[in-house]
Amino acid sequence: MFNYTIRRLLLAVPTLLLISFLIFLLLDLAPSDPTANLPLTIPPEVREKIRISLGLGEAFHIRFLLWCKQFFYNETLNILEQWWGWDFGGDRLRVLSWQTRSPVVDTIVQRIPQTLWVVGMSYIVGILIAVPIGILSAYKQYSWFDQIGTFVSMVGYSVPTFFTGVLVIVIFSVWLGWFPSIYDTTLVVNDWSSFLQQVKQMIMPVSVLALYNAAQISRFMRASMLDNLNQDYVRTARAKGIRERSVILVHVLRNSLIPVVTVIALGVPQVFGGAIITEQVFKVNGLGQLLIIAIQAGDVPTVQTLTFIFAVLIVFFNLIADVLYGILDPRIRYD
């Protein structure tokens, strides 16, 4: 298992390099211009100068190598300096966003808390709702509970968050006035009242996203439980006189979790990717909003850095899912 993990990690290096190159290539081929959104009163000569000052005058391969150096070398040294207080000296240019002209990595670090709080929380809430619903729905297949569960997850899965988001804002912010419609990212939680405020502003985005996540995961959970409930080993366990509770929660649940864990693990990178639409609707301004704004503004360094980090997370969580497989199911061995 250990050797396998090391081998996979080593293989990830060329994979990620190739991914970063492909992302860069795609962004370069896309018809976007960082000066396109400027007012028309700014003349073309000035726009050209702006483009050159952003480094767009250089050839494709030079820009790519420069990004690689800035991201892999300069930013790494920078992190080491910040964490350990070392000083490598020298003047290193970091990856600078074309919109803000500030280091992209700093902005990402600034955005992570609100994304993790809102999107991460909704993922956890979603899982906590989905697993019991999935188990019960499967156990009492075609009962009222199952029918209602199926209906709710179909609604959660098929109604887009830009609809449910605006709907809850209109109901709970405009009509009832219970929750704020705009998320305050500067709120510091240091006492009960600010904690309450944080909870209030998180309720709507978290529930909207949790509904969506729960819908997906509960369907997987239900299907996987159903597969196992009809297996011979379940009948054997019951025949041996094991309590129903243990049959379901120990034997069936553990085996059914294998595919569900994969789905959950593979979904984690999406948490970091933020929920582009939900973040926009509630003005959470996390990583998803950062990405979409950067795309609209033709801000290549930000898009490149963010998508690359997502790629790293996806590769990494794929590996975690595979390793978890082995832990949950001793029959699975890769060596």
Residues making contact with other proteins (CB under 8 A): 31-33, 35-54, 93, 96-97, 99-103, 106-107, 110-111, 169, 173-174, 177, 180-182, 184-186, 280-281, 283, 285, 289-290, 293, 296-298
Task: Kindly tell me which of 41 and 230 has the beta carbon lying closer to other proteins.
Answer: 41
Between CA 66 and CA 72 the distance in angstroms is: 10
The answer to whether residues 48 and 91 touch, using CB atoms and an 8 Å cutoff, is: no
Instruction: State which residue, 32 or 141, has the beta carbon closest to other proteins.
Output: 32
Shortest approach of other proteins to residue 171 CB, angstroms? 12
How far CA 326 is from CA of 8, 61, 192, 213, in Å, comes to 15, 42, 43, 25
Nearer to other proteins, 256 or 285 (CB): 285
Cβ atoms of 252 and 234 within 8 Å: the answer is: yes
Q: Closest approach of Cβ 196 to other proteins, in Å?
A: 17
In which residue are the tokens 């990583």 written? 287
Name the minimum Å distance from CB 323 to other proteins.
36
| 70 torsion bin: left (phi>0), alpha (psi -120 to 50), beta (else) | alpha
**Shortest separation between residue 166's beta carbon and other proteins, angstroms:** 8
How much is the CA Rg of the chain, to the nearest whole Å? 24
Closer CB to other proteins, residue 282 or residue 317? 282
Q: Closest CB to other proteins among 223 and 293?
A: 293
Q: What is the rounded CA–CA span in Å between residue 257 and residue 307?
A: 30
Q: How far is the CB of 53 from other proteins (least distance, A)?
A: 3
Contacts for 137 with CB less than 8 Å, ≥ 6 apart: 145, 146, 149, 150, 218, 222, 225
Q: Match 């990690």 to its residue by tokens.
A: 9
